Amino acid sequence: MTLEGRVRVAARFDGERIESVSVRSDRPLAANALLAGRTGEEALALLPGVFAVCGHSQATVSAAAIDAAADTAPPQAVQRRRERELVAETASEHAFRLLLDWPRLAGVEEDVTLLARVRSLLARAPESEASWGAARDALIGMVQSRILGAGLDTWLEQFSASEWLEWARSGRTATARTLAALCPATEWAAPDTAFLTDLGRARLAGKIALPALGQPGFEARPELDGGTAECGPLARNHLHPALRDLARRDRIVARAFARLAEFAQILREENCAGRIDQVALGPGRGAATGEMARGLLTHAVELDAGRVRRYAIVAPTEWNFHPAGPLYRELEGRPARDAGAARRALEIAAATLDPCVELQCELEGEPSHA
């Protein structure tokens, strides 16, 4: 197994539509190899350092899963700290997409200086309720002036899709110009994919955690009730009126706006409660979930005399880049005016679902693009 991993998206363009879509991921699924035989404490010390972009989320969800396996619950202060860690990392990752990755893709100027300031503030935010509040106050000012060009509440409460699209077309900030450029030239409503939200503990246990521990291949290609499912900002916020409206027209656009809306919404929250859940699965076995930047993260663990006997992680990339999952359904049959527009749709659809590894898009007959 190698440390490198990537998601490859390949397709053909028949002159009118995208077809023969193939989504393949060779992301290393190394949880069991890294953690088997270690104590819970050793696993928790190890995890933040081995994941490049989501170490805090992995560590906090792991801590909750290990607590569940020991059939204990953390003190409230510990739980709150874990939730702040996860939410701060989520916001930091959203900022990475909004200020760097997506502007690059859209041909809009990136803002590395602002991204560095946002990430620096969020890195210190989890320390305490007070530090979270101080970081929020500083970030709200930056987001209003540099990203939204409008008040946070005003922007979030513009409840129609058309008003958000008009904001994007106005080009008043680089983020607005970026989102405008990510809107496909031809809107298309892809077939629905189920959203992986509000599972409840019983379904989490029976439908995800136990299959992850016991069913070979589930970690690599997870399914819910025999079908694929989408997780992430759009799934979490699909009841927002403007996002619901956008999703009915074109989910690519909806996913882009959902990430910005969630970033703004996080800054309105005085606490970060409710993002991590845990469930005991019987003696020595437990699981936990966290709603992180890219979607639902599940850890499931089986302990034997305090040491990990089996460890599984079902990560958002495996749900969203399942070979028959949300990205496939978004692209297969999508109309495009020419091959260039088709390739662009591949790139943008994949970027808005945001794999945690390198992305490679290829349209048959054209050179590949990373």
**Binding site residues, other proteins, CB under 8 A:** 1-6, 26-28, 30, 33-34, 46, 49-55, 96, 100-101, 112-113, 115-116, 119, 315, 317, 356-358
Copy the structure tokens of residue 301: 């663990």
SS3 354: coil
β pairing state of 307-314 and 276-282 = unpaired
Q: Nearer Cβ to other proteins, position 70 or 115?
A: 115
Q: Nearer Cβ to other proteins, position 12 or 119?
A: 119
Give least dist CB 253 to other proteins, A: 23
Beta bridge partners of 282: 285
Distance CA 158, CA 172 (A): 16
C-alpha dihedral sign at 238, 243, 247, 252: negative
If you write DSSP's letter for every residue of 128-151 in order, what string do you get? -HHHHHHHHHHHHHHIIIIIISS-
Q: Nearer Cβ to other proteins, position 55 or 171?
A: 55
Tell how far CA 283 is from the center of its chain: 31
Give least dist CB 291 to other proteins, A: 18
Give least dist CB 309 to other proteins, A: 16
Copy the structure tokens of residue 160: 């129609």
Q: Nearer Cβ to other proteins, position 111 or 330?
A: 111
The position carrying tokens 């399942």 is 322
Q: Nearer Cβ to other proteins, position 112 or 130?
A: 112
Tell how far CA 322 is from the center of its chain: 14
SS3 23: strand
